[in-house]
A and B are shown apart, each in its own frame.
Chain A
Amino acid sequence: MTVVTGSTRKPLVLVVDDFADNREMYSEYLSFSGYEVIEARNGKEAVDAAQERQPDIIIMDLSLPVMDGWEATRRLKADDRTRRIPVVALTGHALAGHSKGAKEAGCDSFLAKPCLPDQLVAEIRRMLEAGKAVVKAKGTR
């Protein structure tokens, strides 16, 4: 996998949400915040897009038509090509079972809706920094 260095290349974020307003709201804000964004409306599209585009991070709504977020995450994590992409689960279901299920499916982090755009950006940054640190640590070895 290519290592993204510096700001020469914008990080690619895959935003998965079936509710267009939210999806577009995050897309706009992420673009505004300096990220390249691709979108998916359900789990199936998300898996396909991830395999095709190899995003740096995936923002995954869990309640999705066609294929839900948990199933999509499991598939991504079961696929060698997409396994290393961090998945941030984002759901309006605040019940305890949801975050637990998300962790089990393989999500790397969990955010509850409502989630303000700047909160999401802060989380993406944190995750990417952590990923870089891991990569750096591996690279120096």
Chain B
Amino acid sequence: MSAAVPTQNRIGAESSRESTAAARLALAEILLFSDDPMECTRATVDWLADRGGARKAICALIQGDSGALQHVAASGVPEGQLESLHLALGKPDHPLVFALSGRDPVTLGKSTKRNGSREDPWRSDFLAIPLPLSEKREARQGLLLVSPSRCEPEATWAAELLGQKIARLRAAAALAEGEHKLQREREMLLNIINASPDPILLTDPEGRMIISNARADALFSSREGESEGRHRAVTLNNMLFSATLSQQAIDESGGARRELLLVSPSEGSDLLFELLSSVVQHPREGTCVVSILRNVTDLRAATEQIEENYRRLKMAEADVRAERDRLDLIIDSVADPILVTDPSGKILLMNSPAERLFTAPQSEETAEAERAVRSNDAHFSSFVSNLFLTGSGMRWQGEIPLTLPSTLQPLPVEAVAGKVLSEHGEVTAVVTILHDRTEAIEKGRLYEQLKAASEQLEEKVREATGELVRRNELLQRQHLALEQASQLKSQFLANMSHEFRTPLNAILGYTSMLLQGVSGDMPPAQRNKMLRVDSNARHLLSIINDILDISRIEAGKMPLHVEDFELPALIAELLEEVEPLIQKAKLQVLTDLRHAATLVRSDRQKVKQIVLNLLTNGIKFTPQGEVKVIARVDEDEVRIAVEDTGIGIAVQDYEKVFEDFRQADSSVTREYGGAGLGLAICRRLARMLDGRIELESRLAVGSTFRLVIPRRGKR
């Protein structure tokens, strides 16, 4: 801008021409370097007061936002007058508004007179100069008021300069404002497309990016320094996108939807997009393509999930069917009829035993069979209805008189019906199980028979028991009688023994006296005969003694006296007692007592009696040779053997010799004497001692009788 604006110098003073030019240069300089309209205005007012010769100067500008006139800077004017300067432009008869509407300076006093406005404070000598907008002087920016009016040339010049400056500043400000707004709108737009979760791209028809949002950048652009994998993925994505886009272009179907498979640059996984693109004709850029990609990967996954679920459902259905088949098999295999009905009594399901009752036989559909089926149905329905008639019970049990359609035989059944409830507690079905009662009834009948039979039996048992009791009593009486008889026998034997002994005592006594010569000497012939008497009397005595022993043992009256004793002493005593016999028989009697030293516990007297008997027998039945007594005491047993070289006993006679009144040969009795009771007594005595008599013998060789008893007798 040039400060050298041609001016009309009405002052005309040659001397001040130079100083006027310098003053104008100073203001022009200030205005040239200032960008602030306020500062420019103030500087202009101050300049007019200092250098332009104005006593009062005011500058008022039309404010852009309110459209009202407002003072901006003033000099030499009181505050009160300035306030009235604030006014709206809607008053065309106001002197200031009037001045503002023109192009040229207006002297306020004159104009107010003409308009007749009496109360105008601006009536005085203010010169109002409109501030031009441009070089065409369109005054619409404000007013410059100065007083006195003689400084009009400087004021007019300054007004022009200030007006142009302010007009330029305002234009610049308006431009800046517009640019700023545009920038904001652009940013907002970018934010909007970035906010979209879908990648959005603006490309040329070949697929080259013009604008892309952040999501799109993540897929289609890479920067230096990022991984090779990402780089490759981005390259691949760009290729795929271009290819898809160009294919679409060929199709000439703008706005079509396509699927586009891309790679996630960050994860490397496949991403499926739906591509929606449309062609845009841009006034400057030419033809562009706007593409919106929608990620449908999850959608695909969801679809697959649905398919999987559907497949599972199918499988579950198959399972259920299999389960149902199995259940059918199970139900069919139950021997009892099973029926499932709906709550109205309609049969939904039944097993084969139930079918036999509730469907007519295929082969022979006779009227009777169908009647039986109908009757069964009726009975069954009435039974099931009980389940609902009787209130809240879950079960109903009862008997139904059915008929078997195939044979028309009556079939009494026991039925149990149960409600099947849904999870909401509604009755969905009724399951009924029938149980054939025929067998139970038959069993009941049999039971009754059995009971009757049992009662009969009981009666018989009672009778038998009574009989038994009677017999028992009889037996007891008999037993008592027997016992008494036994007592009597023992008593009798004892008495007999006594009665025998008394005369025998006299016989033996007198014989003994005669043999002793109490009545004088006897001739030898008489003496011999007397000896025979004596011998026979003694034999008789020994028989009596034996019989007494046996009767005592049998009657259990033989006392047992268990004591400790030694065998050698006992055997010595024995030998002493049989010495006369030995002498008479002229035999050799040997003893072997090497292993007999240990103490023995038993009834000494009985042991002695047994061995004495065995030894006497041995001597008696051994015509020649020797008799050996061998005693041996072991840990548990005592063995006393009497070995002879006598006549011996045949094997078949082993048992006989132990019997009462028996000898192996009855002739022996006569030859050898003795009643034949010796061994019988020995065996009984050995048993009393918990022992036995063993016999080994050979005819004409000899016999061995052995007494075996426990070493430690119990009683």
What A residues does B516 contact at CB under 8 A?
118
Interface residues on B, range: 20 to 34
Task: Indicate if A28 sits at the interface (CB-CB under 8 A).
Answer: yes
Segment of A3-11, A41-49, A93-101, A125-133 in the binding face: A93-101
A26–B552 CB distance below 8 A? no
1/0 per residue, CB under 8 A from B, across A90-110: the answer is 011111100000000000000
The verdict on B545 contacting chain A, using a C-beta distance below 8 Å, is yes
Convert A41-65 into 0s and 1s, putting 1 for each residue whose CB lies closer than 8 angstroms to a CB of B.
0000000000000000000000100
> What residue of chain A has the Cβ atom nearest to residue B559's Cβ?
A96
Q: Is B518 an interface residue (CB 8 A)?
A: yes
Q: Are the CB atoms of B501 and A92 closer together than 8 Å?
A: yes
Q: Is B512 an interface residue (CB 8 A)?
A: yes
Q: Which of B494, B501, B518, B559 contacts A114 (CB 8 A)?
A: B501
Instruction: Give A31 Cβ to nearest chain B Cβ, in Å.
Output: 10
Q: A25-B513, A116-B512 are in contact. Are A95 and B494 (CB under 8 A)?
A: yes
- Cα distance A22–B509 in the bound complex, in angstroms: 8
Contacts of B545 in A (CB 8 A): 94
The complex places the Cα of A19 from the Cα of B507 at a distance, in Å, of 13
**Known A92-B497, A95-B557; contact A19-B506, beta-carbon cutoff 8 A:** yes
Residues of chain B within 8 A (CB-CB) of A91 are: 498
Report whether B505 and A94 are in contact in the complex, using a CB–CB cutoff of 8 Å: no
Is B672 an interface position by the 8 A CB rule? no
User: Is residue B422 within 8 Å, beta carbon to beta carbon, of the partner chain?
Assistant: no
Enumerate chain B residues within 8 angstroms of A117, measured Cβ to Cβ: 509, 512-513
Q: Is A35 positioned at the interface, with any CB of B under 8 Å from its CB?
A: no
Contact B506 A29 (CB under 8 A): no
Q: Is the CB of A28 within 8 A of B513?
A: yes
Chain B 503-521 interface 0/1 with A at a Cβ cutoff of 8 Å (1 = within): 1111011101100101000
Q: Give min CB distance, A29 to chain B, whole Å.
A: 6
B173 → chain A, closest Cβ, in Å? 166
What residue in chain A is nearest B490 (Cβ atoms)?
A: A95
A21 at the B interface (CB under 8 A):
yes
Indicate which residue in A22, A29, A92, A95 contacts B552 across the interface (CB closer than 8 Å).
Answer: A95
In Å, the complex CA distance between A92 and B495 comes to: 9
Is B562 in contact with chain A by the CB < 8 A criterion?
Answer: no
What CA separation (Å) do A91 and B494 show in the bound complex?
12
Interface assignment of B167: CB less than 8 Å from any CB of chain A = no
Q: A32-B518, A117-B513 are in contact. Are A25 and B506 (CB under 8 A)?
A: yes
Given contact pairs A96-B559, A118-B516, A26 touches B497 in the complex (Cβ within 8 A): no
- Interface flag for B502 (CB, 8 Å): yes
Chain B residues near A118 (CB-CB < 8 A)? 512, 516
Q: Does B575 interact with chain A (Cβ within 8 Å)? A: no
Of the residues B497, B505, B510, B513, contact of A115 by C-beta under 8 Å: B505
**Would you call the interface of chain B mostly helix, strand, loop, or mixed?**
helix
> Interface size on A (CB < 8 Å)?
21
Known: A94-B548, A113-B505. A25 touches B498 (CB 8 A): no
- Report whether B548 and A114 are in contact in the complex, using a CB–CB cutoff of 8 Å: no
Interface assignment of B541: CB less than 8 Å from any CB of chain A: yes
Complexed CA–CA distance, A94 and B558 (Å): 12
Shortest CB distance B299–A (Å): 125
B512 near A93: Cβ-Cβ < 8 Å:
no
For the complex, what is the distance from the CA of A49 to the CA of B497, rounded to whole Å?
A: 30
Q: Name the B residues within 8 Å of A94 (CB-CB).
A: 497, 501, 545, 548
- Pairwise interchain contact B502-A22, C-beta atoms closer than 8 A: yes
Interface residue ranges of A11-43 to B (CB < 8 Å): 19, 21-22, 25-26, 28-29, 32
* B497 pairs with A21, CB closer than 8 A: no
Q: Which residue of A lies closest to B552 (CB)?
A: A95
CA distance A19 to B509 in the complex (A): 13
Nearest CB of chain B from residue A92's CB, rounded to whole Å: 4
- Contacting residues, chain A, for B513 (C-beta < 8 A): 25, 28-29, 32, 117
A116 to B512, CA, bound (A): 7
B482 to chain A minimum Cβ distance, whole angstroms, is: 21
A28, B509: Cα distance in complex, Å: 11
Min CB distance, B547 to chain A, in Å?
A: 11
What distance in Å separates the Cβ of A26 from its nearest Cβ neighbour in chain B?
Answer: 7
Chain A residues with Cβ below 8 Å from B557 are 95-96
A19 touches B497 (CB 8 A): no
Kindly report which residue of chain A lies nearest to residue B499, judged by CB atoms.
A92
> What chain A residues lie within 8 Å of B512 (beta carbons)?
116-118
A64 to B312, CA, bound (A): 124
Contact of A92 among B498, B509, B518, B559 (CB under 8 A): B498
Please state if A93 and B506 are interface contacts (CB–CB under 8 Å): no
B504 to chain A, nearest CB (A): 5
Within 8 A of A (CB), among B644-691: none
B509-A116 in contact (CB<8A): yes
How many Å from the CB of B614 to the closest CB on chain A? Answer: 23
**How close is B20's CB to chain A, nearest CB, in angstroms?**
195
Closest CB-CB distance, A17 to chain B, in whole Å? 9
Contact of B494 among A19, A32, A93 (CB under 8 A): A93
Q: B508 and A116: CB pair below 8 A?
A: yes
Would B502 and A92 count as touching, CB distance under 8 A? Answer: yes
CA distance A94 to B505 in the complex (A): 13
Q: How far is the CA of A115 from the CA of B557 in the complex (A)?
A: 23
B491 to A, closest residue via Cβ? A95
CB-contacts of B529-554 with A (<8 A): 541, 545, 548, 552
10 closest cross-chain pairs (CB), A and B: A92-B501, A92-B498, A114-B505, A21-B506, A25-B509, A113-B505, A113-B501, A116-B512, A114-B508, A32-B518
- Listed by A's residue number, 23 A-B pairs whose Cβ atoms lie within 8 Å are A19-B502, A21-B506, A22-B502, A22-B506, A22-B509, A25-B506, A25-B509, A28-B513, A28-B518, A29-B509, A32-B513, A92-B498, A92-B501, A93-B494, A93-B497, A93-B498, A95-B494, A96-B557, A113-B505, A114-B504, A114-B505, A116-B509, A118-B512
Interface residues of A (CB under 8 A from B): 19, 21-22, 25-26, 28-29, 32, 63, 91-96, 113-118
Q: Known pairs A29-B509, A92-B499; list 8 more (Cβ under 8 Å).
A: A21-B506, A25-B510, A25-B513, A92-B500, A92-B505, A113-B501, A114-B509, A118-B516
